Amino acid sequence: AGSLAMIVLGIMKALIERAVKVTIESIDRVLLGVDIRIGHSKVVFFCPHDYTSKVIFDGVQILNPEGFEEETMMESKQVEVEFALWHFLWTWISPRRKQIEIKGATLTDVHVMYETLTPELGLNDSNVAT
């Protein structure tokens, strides 16, 4: 019975990780106006040092808006987002608006490809300002 419970929990965790990845990749254009690609996502439900939870994304790419030469605006080997799980769950079962409280974020091995359409306009006409 114990090993069956572990298998079920493992399957549920895998489904949640996949749902997080698919959700972000499906709402990225609505929220940011650009596409985000995620290689893999992992959820850590309880970090023992501070009782937060975290989502770890490997192989993250933020694509450029249309009209720029380079396909990618930003790449990161890994992005970790720490959040308060209990706060998140409470807002989802309460009638208040749904929200997530982000405690911190860590980006590892980040590369930003800065590009302008017209160099004389500087940052106002760049992929970073769009």
The H or E element spanning position 85 is helix 85-93
Q: What is the reported pTM? A: 0.74
Report the distance separating Cα 77 and Cα 109, nearest Å: 5
Number of neighbouring beta carbons within 10 Å of residue 52: 21
Residues 73-84 have pLDDT tens digits of 999 999 999 887
In the DSSP assignment, the letter for residue 114 is -
Pick the closest to residue 70 from 116, 119, 29 (CA basis).
116
Lowest-pLDDT choice from 1-10, 43-52, 65-74, 118-127 = 118-127
Inter-residue contact 36 to 61 (CB < 8 Å): yes
Amino acid letter for position 126: S
